[in-house]
Structure formats: C-alpha cells, structure tokens
Amino acid sequence: MKKIFFAFALTGLFGFSSCDSPSEGRVENRDERVEEMEDRAEERADEMEELAEEKEDTSAVIE
C-alpha cells in the first residue's frame, strides 16, 4: 500500500515540477517576435503602396 502512495506522490511531484517549464518563456518570446515581424511586414507593404502611388502621380505630370 505504501508503494502505491509513493508512486502517486512521485507522479504528482513530477507533474507539478514540469508545470513551470522554461519552454513557456521561449514560446512567449517567439510569439512577440512573430508579432514584431508582422508589424514590420505591414509597414513595408504600406511603404511600397505609397511608392507605387507616387510613381503613378509623377507619370501624369510628364507631358
């Protein structure tokens, strides 16, 4: 009977110790970096659209 309780206690301690793993921090950091990359990509797309619009505007001026 003691062995069964020991097995459950050991399993519980193992599960409890694995709850706060360092990989959670890495996942959060990765998510933040992905969001930053998406923001930069959107900014670059906006800049490219502005440049395309400017190019269209200057072609109308030349006669």
Task: Look at residue 58 in the predicted model and tell me its pLDDT.
Answer: 60
Q: How far is CA 48 from the centre of its chain?
A: 24
pTM of structure? 0.49
Range of the domain at 37: 21-63
Is the pLDDT assigned to residue 2 strictly greater than 60? Answer: yes
Q: What percent of the chain has pLDDT over 90?
A: 27
62 inside domain: yes
9 inside domain: no
Count of domains observed in the chain: 1
Task: Look at residue 24 in the predicted model and tell me its pLDDT.
Answer: 67
5 inside domain: no
**C-alpha distances in angstroms, 41 versus 36, 44, 51?**
9, 5, 15
pLDDT tier at 11 (50, 70, 90 boundaries)?
confident
33 inside domain: yes
